[in-house]
Structure 1
């Protein structure tokens, strides 16, 4: 799905936003960013997903499957836009508390439960738009959470690492039309692993196994780098590339000497903690602009 057209000046608008908070740290980070920017917003919590820190700020809480209830709340609040943030998955027992709501929304439920988590998110966005709501991505309302161009830690890539990064960028650009994945582990001109549906962490686990001798012994390939870029036509509201301290740990275990991500289009989950983790692990962390590293 192509990225939705942006409404002009959304970052400057002062109308209230609605943050639909899923699981994980991201919704809290978005809330802090909006607070810093002085943007008025309300939190719509998803029962069984929203973390405790944001549940206390929630203006309302709904079950994941209570589509009619969520739409009624949004009609009452009349937000300028709706911002989904955080993970959701197959409904957990805690999320399926309102059986009556599920029965009221059979047709909508068929649309959003007939596939994987990505299908669920896309269908939910379509339902919101069909009901007249503008859906914005985290990258539009909290751009300070995105990777910046250039060096983000204390270490910088050397010449060999820069050559690896160039290989990784070319590889991901070539694969982009095929919707394969957002990341790859590359060593010089050798591709060790390409991300598939399993996600970045599991890809890094594969790279660790492939890049070393049996039983995990031996040295990793030199100049091994994790490269992560968005795909062509990617809907950034649904599938924004992201890394965090956990990614750094997994990359270090896979033998990487650094991480290169697309600046302005990659979410850094807690930038300070991620950069600190990279420094501790001895990895560089850089943001790549369209013209190359730091360009």
Structure 2
């Protein structure tokens, strides 16, 4: 397991959608570190926020976020949670963002890793320290080995290796972090729609009989991009991923141990065991 970075309390969590921001907050609280959530309008789950100190912010309001971070004495921050990338024309920039508009525009000229790294650099240049889940909540990282009763068979091990090779080859293009391989055939690659959309597309292809493989064949492979900034946008795994893999009639899911986040491990493992799917952590 990765070592926890030396961090100060409180720490700011810039939170998008999903359960992950709250899992990180709970992990910090368990270690006596105060999380302060800066919830992104339109993305963060309002119903769960009442348990934490928080502020609402909008994408593009860099100046407001920096002011709030300083007021709350947050020297360090983490970007966490799902966000649908808006076009730059849809973002209402405040004066703090306008002052660094060239850097903002440069960050937008690339994939998600390029964007997040660019935004992170803006905050670092203003004196903040950017951390990732591997720094602040290593207990949420996927361990090595199989977590489930089911395990990959020989042909599935070959599919996993092929999926990993595909993701490595696609890394320079900053496209996605997942693909589905069935009996040696790459049937789908993750794009801007994310993992849920990837698995839904495989389920549709099966329903249309464009995928003729037998049910319970194939694997979802997830891995960070080669050279990715591991403070941002690590692959994530949870019960919803397993539900998607069941609908896609796959045999299981393989992710990179230590480089994948699992926010709800027990419900995820139980769901996989009920369906007879495997979940395995691949070595780095």
- For normalisation by structure 1, the TM-score amounts to 0.80
Equivalent runs, 1:170-181 vs 2, <5 Å: 170-181=165-176
More divergent stretch after superposition (147-156 vs 72-81): 72-81
Are 1:158 and 2:153 counterparts?
yes
Q: Which residue of 2 aligns with 1:289?
A: 283
2: CA distance, partners of 1:72 / 1:36 = 27
Q: Which residue of 2 aligns with 1:260?
A: 254
Are 1:243 and 2:209 counterparts?
no
2: CA distance, partners of 1:252 / 1:66 = 40
Q: Which residue of 2 aligns with 1:198?
A: 193
Q: Which residue of 2 aligns with 1:54?
A: 49
Matched-pair contact (CA < 8 Å) for 1:150–1:287 = yes
Question: What SS is found at the alignment partner of 2:129?
Answer: coil
Q: Which residue of 2 aligns with 1:5?
A: none
Q: How far does the alpha carbon of each residue in 1:38-73 deviate from its partner, in whole angstroms, 9 at most, with x for none?
A: 223333333443323224522543333332221122
1: CA distance, partners of 2:100 / 2:233 = 22
Are 1:186 and 2:178 counterparts?
no
Distance 1:217 1:121, change over 3 A: closer
Structure 2 gaps of 5+ residues are: none
Matched-pair contact (CA < 8 Å) for 1:90–1:117 = no
Q: How far does the alpha carbon of each residue in 1:17-41 deviate from its partner, in whole angstroms, 9 at most, with x for none?
A: 2222222211111011112222233
Question: What SS is found at the alignment partner of 1:84?
Answer: strand
Q: Which residue of 2 aligns with 1:45?
A: 39
Distance 1:216 1:55, change over 3 A: farther
2: CA distance, partners of 1:189 / 1:219 = 11
Structure 1 gaps of 5+ residues are: 1-8, 291-295
Q: Which residue of 2 aligns with 1:6?
A: none
Q: How far does the alpha carbon of each residue in 1:72-116 deviate from its partner, in whole angstroms, 9 at most, with x for none?
A: 22223333411121233467xxx99xx8x7367434467547578
Matched-pair contact (CA < 8 Å) for 1:185–1:194 = yes
Question: What SS is found at the alignment partner of 2:220?
Answer: strand
- For normalisation by structure 2, the TM-score amounts to 0.83
Are 1:27 and 2:16 counterparts?
no
Distance 1:252 1:141, change over 3 A: same
Matched-pair contact (CA < 8 Å) for 1:88–1:117 = no
Q: Which residue of 2 aligns with 1:148?
A: 143
Distance 1:191 1:105, change over 3 A: closer
Considering only aligned residues, what root-mean-square deviation do their CA atoms show, in Å? 3.2
Distance 1:55 1:127, change over 3 A: farther
Distance 1:174 1:87, change over 3 A: closer
